[in-house]
Structure 1
């Protein structure tokens, strides 16, 4: 085998998807070991919680850290786990994607070493995506550091609402590279992120954002509107989860919009839905794709009810093809999705399809309208 080029072994290993097979290949010989290790440790999941094998392997063979490109960690409370996580975060130099689960703990309760290492890791030039999930007390320093990463997702995080954004922090903030911002159930973080993005010291923070996903509710509607307006010149994709009235600014270059709503047990769209949906025509003149995601929970212990006929939306009435707005519209996709993995909504889908047809009668027979039953929300 020594006479064969190493590139051949690399190509063979690259086609293997099963971890057990990769572990076996690593024992075959010196030509198989490096490519097998690179494939095995390119994605590391659950560091800090489940991965005793991974933690032990990284401790025994530190060179394996250099293979990590995609890392998922659980920020721990125990000192030994903190030391392990901090060591990996400080050593991984070519990381591309980082997912951090806080397990609903407060940042201030975490070990300083792990927190400090995480902040240092966010400055890696190779880092292209950060997902921060389930953490409270997230500091301003981390929010500002995240602005230097192209793709950032905050899921159920909370910041310290008493914390002020210091001028010193803004002065030392890295150059923004943010292209894609996702905020899901972000609570108080929306205010802090908005204040960070729109701070006078950071005029370039919003000038490159092309993809924005943001919730709109009573607590953050004004902040959401400010962020959308600040991104208007570059924004091409917008997703909103609206639980309140929204006011869309003019977004002249958005090509795709996604509106997410929750339907209660009466199977009726929110009272503000028609108002929110109608704004698309006037605010997004170049929109090519509109996606409506309707979240429901199955009715327990009783049969599914008919979907109420709520009448057509104004612009999508029978005269839609004579429209003077939404001239570029090519697709309207309506998705019915369960809120959880439990229950069955297939019977409701049978009502959902004609309900969407009656709400969008001008799209019937045009090939523009599609309806699908989606997977539960992740």
Structure 2
């Protein structure tokens, strides 16, 4: 929003409380009303039917307000299947660039509503995030073709469209893909021969829960262009050659019984490849309901594996690899609940420092804690 001259603001403040003059109205209307409308309707979040009905009523009366909307977030869980209140919203919000739609864990059948399909096929979209939905394969193909950033979390594809193939010819190169594929539906769709073009220009890839064989196939497709990779470490595996990768984030769930062995094992992934790595993040995901690991006990256990990891990271830090050098090793404690725990975090920091003394002394070991949950609409790069 453009900034107003201080003289205009001072004049408005002086005139509006005391006068109903033509000058006061002339200053107030263009200076505040239009600018406020743009700011208010720029980002809209609809979390229930009542909010949907209210917004539909506003846009039915004043449809021009929809042109200001650039970010739209919809939680359609619990809405009736016809979702009639969405029609005036979709018809008015013709300039949406970032869209997030969340269904239920039972996979809401989004394709039965024509308004949502129109919204998903909008030419203005650049970023789309979809979670817990049942989607036809052709809709997924259109989103991957037309958008630059796509997040797909636990998406199901109806059986009658699961075997369809769509030649990938992206109008906008998809460079950021964020996936969680516990149902093993999306990644197998992406690695089919005629659809591999969707992923060939990826520079940023995030993979949550998925099956190993599918994940490896996707990494192979985008290996030559990938610069940033975030991946959940569920079992030992070997990364393919990733010549351009500069940032790697490994996510590990703290409730796994072999956590002690898993952390140093995951770090071993980076000691031989990729050659351009500059930043390593190890993120530990904790859930209070399943928390069993005592970080304060960690330092009482001698692990020879850590000595090798400490020396290996120092080697990458000191090694001259052209312009590449490992300059950051970051450990992040993340909570699934919306609450930080300072005492656990302090024990966590003390523990890791004790295991990587050389990295700590060299000054490139850092720490953080945060809540793991991130809203769908905030997962795009422009939300940073």
Aligned to 1:103: 104
> Per-residue deviation at 1:54?
2.2
Secondary structure of residue in 2 paired with 1:104 = coil
Aligned to 1:56: 57
Do the aligned residues in 2 keep the contact of 1:26 with 1:36 (CA within 8 Å)?
no
Do the aligned residues in 2 keep the contact of 1:27 with 1:33 (CA within 8 Å)?
no
Task: Please give the alpha-carbon distance, in whole angstroms, between the structure 2 residues aligned to 1:99 and 1:289.
Answer: 29
TM-score computed with the length of structure 1 as normaliser? 0.79
Distance 1:216 1:225, change over 3 A: farther
Aligned to 2:268: 278
The 5 A counterparts of 1:84-233 are 84-108=85-109, 111-121=112-122, 124=123, 126-135=124-133, 137-148=134-145, 149-160=147-158, 163-167=161-165, 170-171=166-167, 175=171, 177-184=173-180, 186-188=181-183, 191-215=184-208, 217=210, 220-233=211-224
Establish whether residue 78 from structure 1 lines up as the match of residue 80 from structure 2. yes
Poorly superposed stretches of 4+, deviation over 6 Å: 299-303
Task: Please give the alpha-carbon distance, in whole angstroms, between the structure 1 residues aligned to 2:260 and 2:284.
Answer: 11
Do the aligned residues in 1 keep the contact of 2:71 with 2:97 (CA within 8 Å)?
yes
Secondary structure of residue in 2 paired with 1:248 = coil
Secondary structure of residue in 1 paired with 2:297 = coil
> Per-residue deviation at 1:295?
1.6
Do the aligned residues in 2 keep the contact of 1:261 with 1:294 (CA within 8 Å)?
yes
Distance 1:368 1:102, change over 3 A: same
Flag the structure with more relative contact order, 1 or 2, with Cα contacts below 8 A and sequence separation at least 6. Answer: 2
Distance 1:353 1:301, change over 3 A: closer
Do the aligned residues in 1 keep the contact of 2:100 with 2:130 (CA within 8 Å)?
yes
Aligned to 1:238: 229
Do the aligned residues in 2 keep the contact of 1:72 with 1:100 (CA within 8 Å)?
yes
Instruction: Pick the structure with more helix per residue.
Output: 2
> Per-residue deviation at 1:371?
2.0
Moved more, 293-302 or 30-39: 293-302
> Per-residue deviation at 1:216?
5.1
Task: Please give the alpha-carbon distance, in whole angstroms, between the structure 2 residues aligned to 1:142 and 1:187.
Answer: 20
Aligned to 1:18: none
Do the aligned residues in 1 keep the contact of 2:175 with 2:203 (CA within 8 Å)?
yes
Between the two proteins, the alignment pairs up a number of residues equal to 348
Moved more, 255-264 or 296-305: 296-305
Distance 1:312 1:347, change over 3 A: farther
Secondary structure of residue in 2 paired with 1:260 = strand
> Per-residue deviation at 1:311?
4.2
Task: Please give the alpha-carbon distance, in whole angstroms, between the structure 2 residues aligned to 1:288 and 1:254.
Answer: 8
Do the aligned residues in 2 keep the contact of 1:99 with 1:130 (CA within 8 Å)?
yes
Aligned to 1:350: 346
Aligned to 1:337: 334
Aligned to 2:38: 38
Distance 1:77 1:50, change over 3 A: closer
> Per-residue deviation at 1:336?
1.4
Moved more, 87-96 or 278-287: 87-96
TM-score computed with the length of structure 2 as normaliser? 0.78
Aligned to 1:21: none
The 5 A counterparts of 1:289-368 are 289-298=279-288, 306-308=296-298, 309=301, 310-313=303-306, 315-318=308-311, 321-322=314-315, 328-341=325-338, 345-368=341-364
Any idea what the Cα deviations from partners look like across 1:88-122, whole Å, max 9, x if unmatched? 3344332110011113354437643234323422x
- For structure 2, the residue ranges without an aligned partner over 5 or more in a row are 10-24, 375-384
Distance 1:251 1:173, change over 3 A: closer
Establish whether residue 260 from structure 1 lines up as the match of residue 245 from structure 2. no
Secondary structure of residue in 2 paired with 1:254 = coil
Task: Please give the alpha-carbon distance, in whole angstroms, between the structure 1 residues aligned to 2:203 and 2:70.
Answer: 24
